[in-house]
Structure 1
């Protein structure tokens, strides 16, 4: 008899919504970046322009990072039904965002090194070529940013209002990492244009490497912030304090039941798996306690252990 009803008690392991639209837009951005990279390298080689060649290879690092974000979406979708991922595949996306943040930080460190080297050993700048490359890079990244922001302001915010507070940590961190790469590249292009115009028309030669250091500092800050956000999730340090308080409030509402052990595992952007153990002197069922939690919509999976005391 119980074999026939087992499906009533089984749970699926896919807690995160499909993101085919996000995946498609990320793919478009990867293609645009790769095409621009190849074009810059090709025309740089034909015209002997080191500026074009350098920016082309620089585009390659961003294409790689964007490719990591795309691969994370593809793998998360591919293994969505794989039961060996007992809490779903969402953390593949988080791992993609974490990896991309590391690449972003490495790019910033290279920028700082190159800028300091340029201050110590200044080189002649071919202003017209460099300005052309910076403008091309800016236009490409503006287009890519618009493509990505079509998926929810660049890093999907969920403005769910819980107890009067707007919460912004239900964001797609993998998409955010892709967006930051595009924004970082666009920002460096703007800073480069300002620096090159200043150097060309006002002979402020030091402005070019100085802007490089300023841009790298901002990128490092973004990279660290993204590393912290994704790292906390990978290390299971993302338990929502308000949800924890609400779980305790509902479970202990009878004045008798007390939670003795509680674990929250983040399994999707705004979904948690809850594992709790409680102590009670009353004869209550697991279903009684699950009913108390039914209005906490962030809980996608609940496991309860009841310990009876005298």
Structure 2
């Protein structure tokens, strides 16, 4: 009876292990943020503080965005072994980070709109009560930052180690949640400054101005996150150091003067792991894909490779000379 041995030659495509600590951390932060959001929006409306309302609505968007991050982890875990995902489900998490960054841009725009409106239509503010709520919001943000920081530390302790001097790649989905918390904390600090300035010095204009300053800060952080997540989602990785390392590994060593990479594609399939597809032209008739993989094995961050070899029987100067 014939026995199907294909399983001996196949492997799973879940290249990046799911982070249970990050998922738990984002879930906790989501519920804490949602509860604080309700308190701040209610208090901001009651005490008539634009800075406090901005902080509350800002936090509401963070509750949704952090919820998206938690959902991304859950979906990545649920579909981790689904063969329809050719290179695993890690990019679901990256997509969650990208969506969170878009939310941040929307929040920044709303903060500017609300603050400008208050500049032209100032209203009385009950400073003392508003300061108390703003301090509460800042305390909550600090707690949330600690929770996410512990989750990130747990990931670094159990994930892939950066190889060959590469910069450490953070969990972009967790980073998105962390940026939301930091943006909340910054907005809370600005709200406190504005309220104290108005309370003690009568600077009522400081409240909406701080709202605009906070919006600019949030927009800058959002832009950075969009660039990072967008780079991964669009597979714009060909300027990464690992690309040169692949070329060096393949085109150096025994028979290097007879072998050149003529086509190379590299993309990330996890926080610190990569896949590559390459075409090699060689005069060495004995060269096999297994030989190429052995040369690449020194770089542990390359977890999947597709190799095509073309034999060039007639020596060409382009292959002999660099």
State whether TM-score is above 0.5.
yes
| 2:6 is equivalent to residue 6 of structure 1 | yes
- Gap change, CA 1:293 and 1:159, over 3 Å in 2: closer
Match of 1:280 in 2: 282
Cα deviation per residue 1:256-284 (whole Å; 9 max; x = unaligned)?
Answer: 11101101121000111110011011111
Match of 2:171 in 1: 172
Match of 1:293 in 2: 296
Match of 1:241 in 2: 240
Cα deviation per residue 1:113-158 (whole Å; 9 max; x = unaligned)?
Answer: 1111211221111112221221111111111111111022599698
Q: Give the Cα separation in 2 of the matches to 1:178 and 1:154.
A: 16
The answer to whether the 8 A contact 1:149-1:155 is kept is: no
Greater CA drift, 235-244 or 282-291: 235-244
Matches within 5 A, 1:107-126: 107-126=107-126
Matches within 5 A, 1:131-280: 131-152=131-152, 160=162, 162=164, 165=165, 167-168=167-168, 170-239=169-238, 241-253=240-252, 254-280=256-282
Q: Give the Cα separation in 1 of the matches to 2:259 and 2:40.
A: 67
Q: Give the Cα separation in 2 of the matches to 1:2 and 1:305.
A: 30
Match of 1:268, SS state, is: coil
Number of residues of Structure 1 aligned to a counterpart in Structure 2:
305
The answer to whether the 8 A contact 1:156-1:172 is kept is: no
- Gap change, CA 1:19 and 1:159, over 3 Å in 2: closer
1:309 corresponds to which of 288, 291, 312: 312
Give RMSD over aligned pairs. Answer: 2.4
- Gap change, CA 1:238 and 1:155, over 3 Å in 2: farther
The answer to whether the 8 A contact 1:155-1:171 is kept is: no
Q: Give the Cα separation in 1 of the matches to 2:103 and 2:271.
A: 23
Q: Give the Cα separation in 1 of the matches to 2:2 and 2:290.
A: 18
Cα deviation per residue 1:218-272 (whole Å; 9 max; x = unaligned)?
Answer: 1100000000000111111024532111111111112111101101121000111
Displacement after TM superposition at 1:161 (Å): 6.0
- Gap change, CA 1:196 and 1:101, over 3 Å in 2: same
Match of 1:88, SS state, is: coil
Displacement after TM superposition at 1:54 (Å): 7.0
Matches within 5 A, 1:95-114: 95-114=95-114
Q: Give the Cα separation in 1 of the matches to 2:177 and 2:12.
A: 29
The answer to whether the 8 A contact 2:47-2:130 is kept is: no
- Gap change, CA 1:100 and 1:2, over 3 Å in 2: farther
Match of 2:21 in 1: 21
Match of 1:82 in 2: 82
Q: Give the Cα separation in 2 of the matches to 1:298 and 1:99.
A: 27
Greater CA drift, 198-207 or 91-100: 198-207
Q: Give the Cα separation in 1 of the matches to 2:125 and 2:155.
A: 37
- Gap change, CA 1:281 and 1:126, over 3 Å in 2: same
Unmatched segments (≥5 aa) in structure 1? none
Matches within 5 A, 1:35-50: 35-39=35-39, 44=43, 48-49=46-47
Displacement after TM superposition at 1:72 (Å): 0.5
What TM-score, normalized to structure 2? 0.88
Displacement after TM superposition at 1:160 (Å): 3.0
Q: Give the Cα separation in 2 of the matches to 1:222 and 1:166.
A: 23
The answer to whether the 8 A contact 1:155-1:179 is kept is: no
What TM-score, normalized to structure 1? 0.91
